[in-house]
Chain A
Amino acid sequence: GEDVEQSLFLSVREGDSSVINCTYTDSSSTYLYWYKQEPGAGLQLLTYIFSNMDMKQDQRLTVLLNKKDKHLSLRIADTQTGDSAIYFCAESNGSSNTGKLIFGQGTTLQVKP
């Protein structure tokens, strides 16, 4: 079945760039998403990319999509301590974009001052 895989933990120094990686299996997914979860809070949509795009940039965030390898990454430039959170990659279930998403297990980003 469909699956989304992420590494569980990443530690960076404040000011460095962070790169969080994700692989997915459903090649028919039309949208891929990055959500952020801060401690004790619900998930917050950070950004998303349509499957016919290779890259999307939004301020400090850059999303890269390699559809051939089914690999998605999120780069955070100039990482701040406030970026410490769990980051979830998610794919839309199949070609329809219904909000029925398949999430990875989340990558915990630790930013050291």
Chain B
Amino acid sequence: AQSVTQLDSQVPVFEEAPVELRCNYSSSVSVYLFWYVQYPNQGLQLLLKYLSGSTLVKGINGFEAEFNKSQTSFHLRKPSVHISDTAEYFCGTSYGKLTFGQGTILTVHP
């Protein structure tokens, strides 16, 4: 079985500050790892994914994530956030089916 824990339910941050959204996973097998973003009143959009190879993965909108196998983590980072990054972010693992964490609401303040 696989599970995902997002360690922060809400992250407030000021515009142009760096941000990290934390995600830990557990699985007895190798899985694929994903980050999705959901803007208000919309479906989910894929930000980035880790399948294998380089542990640093770059995605859309300036986001990146680092896969750390020893710590079973896949934290999402952005060096400088914008107001438009305000959204809910979901971490997920996939082994036949995609399992999500509880979500982290990122709020960027001016």
A, B in one complex: no
